[in-house]
Homo-oligomer: A and B are copies of this chain.
Amino acid sequence: AVEKKAELGRAGWTLIHTTAATLPTPLTPAARDGVVALLRAVAQTYPCKECREHFASFIAVHPIDIESRDSILQWTCIAHNAVNARQHKPAYPCGDIKALDARWGDCGC
């Protein structure tokens, strides 16, 4: 059961970070609205109740930074770090766009 929760978490972050990393630059209004809708829908529907409530509070306190592709990708990283901190895991270097791109920028598609 613990393994299922972790697997779902990895799936959620894979979809979220890859979606953010592959947004167009310059960002279009449609792409921006789409990713905001995705993040809000995850905050509303993510199967783990404690997780989605944390994520919804995070969005409420730290509005999604929709300035650019980079800022949205960094926002998803900071949101993930908030969970890492609760799990006593190391923080990811969210200031390092190259690291984020190397990890999440290739969707193979």
Residues of A within 8 A of B (CB): 1-8, 10-12, 14-15, 18-19, 21-22, 30-31, 33-35, 37-38, 40-42, 44-51, 106-109
Contacts and interface: CB of A to CB of B under 8 A. Distances in A.
19 contacts: A3-B108, A5-B107, A5-B108, A6-B108, A7-B14, A8-B15, A8-B109, A11-B11, A11-B12, A11-B14, A11-B15, A15-B42, A18-B47, A21-B47, A34-B41, A35-B45, A47-B107, A49-B109, A51-B109
Copies held by the complex: 2
Nearest to A51: B109
Contacts of A109: 1, 4-5, 8, 47-51
